[in-house]
């Protein structure tokens, strides 16, 4: 992690007005991106969208939903040119801290089997593989397995 860069990163809950910046990142990061309508529905349904900013530039975001004492992490994404500098780790640590403060006891997520970077990040923050969902995700050649990961807080 680059300390000078990470000190500049500010975290803030995102709103509808931020969704154009979210979509700019989402579209260049995923083969099957969410639509702006999906993000808007998340906001309307009370999910949290946590954004990482460098001044007025959105670097990345996380989407999470709390149900009772469980948090589900639905999306975590960092703009390609900002990767490898600790932004995802900052987002993940912050949302896990927030989860603890809100009384959550577990965070869960699904991740593509081929997503080496994300799986390494989650493992390094204490997540464990708890189940495999065969052919869970569409991919360019057909389907791809998903790993369900969990971290007890
Ligand atoms: C996965 C992703 C969020 C990581 O973002 P990032 O800001 O580059 O990650 P960080 O710089 O915080 O790195 C944290 C850890 O992730 C792992 N990691 C990150 N990039 C990696 C890579 N290219 N290869 C292997 N491990 C990697 C490492 O364990 C790293 O820790 P280290 O720097 O101490 O080695 C980013 O690559 C991304 O947005 N990918 C596209 C969207 C996506 O797949 N999201 C996950 C959906 S489940």
Q: Which domains does the chain have, with CATH numbers?
A: 3-152 (3.40.630.30)
Determine whether 101 is an active site residue: no
pLDDT of residue 4: 81
Cα(128)–Cα(141) distance, integer angstroms:
27
Q: Bridge partners of 54?
A: 9, 57
CA 118 to centroid of ligand 1, rounded, Å? 5
**For position 7, what pLDDT does the model report?**
87
State the pLDDT at residue 19.
98
The pLDDT of residue 90 is 97
Bridge partners (DSSP) of residue 60 are 52, 78
- Does the CB atom of residue 116 touch ligand 1 within 6 A? yes
Residue 112 neighbours by CB distance under 10 Å? 15
What span, in angstroms and rounded, lies between the C-alpha atoms of 101 and 103?
Answer: 5
Query: How close is the Cα of 130 to the center of ligand 1, in Å?
Result: 20
Cβ 84 under 6 angstroms from ligand 1: yes
In the residue annotation, 12 being an active-site residue is answered as no
Residues of the chain with pLDDT under 50: none
């Amino acid at each position: 992690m680059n300390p000078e860069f990470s000190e500049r990163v500010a975290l803030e809950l995102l709103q509808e007005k931020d969704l154009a910046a979210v979509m700019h990142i989402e579209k260049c990061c995923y083969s099957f991106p969410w639509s702006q309508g999906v993000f808007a529905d998340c906001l309307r349904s009370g999910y949290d969208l946590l954004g990482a900013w460098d001044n007025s530039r959105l670097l990345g975001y996380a989407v999470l939903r709390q149900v009772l004492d469980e948090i589900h992490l639905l999306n975590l994404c960092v703009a390609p040119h900002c990767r490898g500098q600790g932004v995802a780790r900052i987002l993940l640590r912050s949302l896990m801290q927030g989860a603890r403060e809100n009384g959550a006891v577990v965070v869960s997520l699904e991740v593509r089997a081929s997503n080496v970077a994300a799986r390494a990040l989650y493992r390094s923050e204490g997540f464990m593989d708890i189940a495999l969902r065969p052919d869970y995700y569409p991919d360019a050649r057909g389907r791809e397995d998903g790993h369900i990961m969990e971290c007890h807080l």
